[in-house]
Amino acid sequence: MKYTFKLLASFTIAAAALIPSTASAESNLFVNNFAGKEYSFGAIDETIVSSSKLFIYDSGFTFKYPDAVRGVYVTGHSAGGARFNDLVTLIDKTELNAMVIDIKDDFGNLTYKPSEESPLTKYDIGRPYIKDLKATLKTMEQKEIYPIARIVIFKDTELAERKPEWSFVDGSSVWKNGRGEAFVNPFLQEVWDYNIEIAIEAAKMGFKEIQFDYVRFPEGFENREDTLKYSLGTYESSELDAVQRRVSAVTDFVAYAREKLKPYGAQLSVDIFGYSATLPEAPGIGQNFSKISENVDVISSMIYPSHWTSYFGIVKPDLEPYRLVQEYAKVENAKLAELENPPISRPWIQDFTASYLGAGNYLTYGKEEVEAQIKALNEAGIKEYLLWNAGNKYSPGVDYTP
């Protein structure tokens, strides 16, 4: 395994400071000769690399953080197909500036085929949706599109079926929810490391941010925690109650992942249910908004109006996108204000029509509804957001900076 690193300017200054003042000439020589240069190492202990704060991995791509991230969701199929060019054109012609691209999808598959040298090859989970991921990133670099890699974590049917002992077992088979989806066990270090290995590869390829989704236990887990078979891992000896054990497992994983990603220069963001910010914690799924927020660079609450019931005194939230987002933002701002080092808030907002809610309960979402959500965020001081449309078809004519 070969690493290319850039020596950080902050390190050169610190190193110079360690040299006695009588050797100031040597100190200046060190800074002048080594700052910003690249060094290649052959086989090197991964633990040394991951624990070092002196080096940042260089992917060969250069991406600048925008004034504020305004992004769209992109599936692997879209990123690897004709729609990618349409989305690049959309970003070119608007104030949008980022893409959240599926790298590990909702089924547990990679959306690209790893190279033969990649340690991920052994898992045989690569799919040829994105034929040339480097070329995709190169286009994004040229167009100044900020790249975010979406990785679905604990919802992973592929891994659960291959490793039932890493999942939740019901009788003699892996438990699945009503949609036929299986989850892997957040209590297990092996599951953590598996996903972090994928995240690190995404960072090494050039993604400047890794976004974790489904960082939680299955919905309604509290109703089946005593009937399913699963390991508690190191949490077996915990004196915490069942709810706090789940919260600890999810929070600890996020903190662990953030540390592991630091040497690769990638920020960590986490998607979280919007209602989690309105509660001390979501007890069944193990999401505590404040604790997760303390351990990420970006928090992305999914605040689609269609996904709320009668919240904030709004009987039919999908009919009132501005008011719903306005009320949510008040709650989130208050929660984040309690933290010493709050992350960037970058909510997911709705650019799809929730006709499944039934007549009289939904709006046809387009320009006005999307702009209403953006306006509410902007008025609350939240400048960043992501647009969700599962088919990656976004409303035309939207002013993304009202």
| 68/51 same-domain check | no
Report the largest interatomic distance among the alpha carbons of the chain, rounded to a whole angstrom. Answer: 80
Q: Which of 12-21, 57-66, 82-91, 208-217 has the lowest mean pLDDT?
A: 12-21
Residues 6+ apart with CB under 8 A from 41: 2, 3, 5
What are the pLDDT digits (tens) for 375-399? 999 999 999 999 999 999 999 999 9
What is the tally of structural domains in the chain? 2
Within a domain: 273:
yes
Q: Does one domain contain both 180 and 285? A: yes
Of the residues 17, 36, 58, the one at which a domain ends: 58
pLDDT value, residue 55:
67
Residues 40 and 166 in one domain: no
Determine how many CB atoms are found less than 10 A away from the CB of residue 233: 18
* Span 276-325, pLDDT tens digits: 999 988 889 999 999 999 999 999 999 999 999 989 999 999 999 999 99
Query: Same domain for 250 and 137?
Result: yes
Whether 24 and 97 map to the same domain: the answer is no
Residues shown for the chain: 402
Helix (H) / strand (E) containing 170:
strand 169-170
For residue 241, the domain's CATH number is 3.20.20.70
- Whether residue 39 lies inside any domain: the answer is yes
Q: pLDDT over 90 for what percent of the chain?
A: 84
45-89 tens-digit pLDDT: 545 444 444 468 899 999 999 999 999 999 999 999 999 999 999
Whether the pLDDT of residue 211 is over 50: the answer is yes
State which of 271, 302, 333 marks the end of a domain.
Answer: 302
Which range marks the domain in which residue 5 is found? 1-58
DSSP 264: G
Same domain for 221 and 151: yes
Question: What are the tens digits of pLDDT across the range 254-274?
Answer: 999 999 999 999 999 999 999
Q: Is residue 333 part of a domain?
A: no
394: in domain: no
Question: Looking at residue 283, what is its pLDDT?
Answer: 85
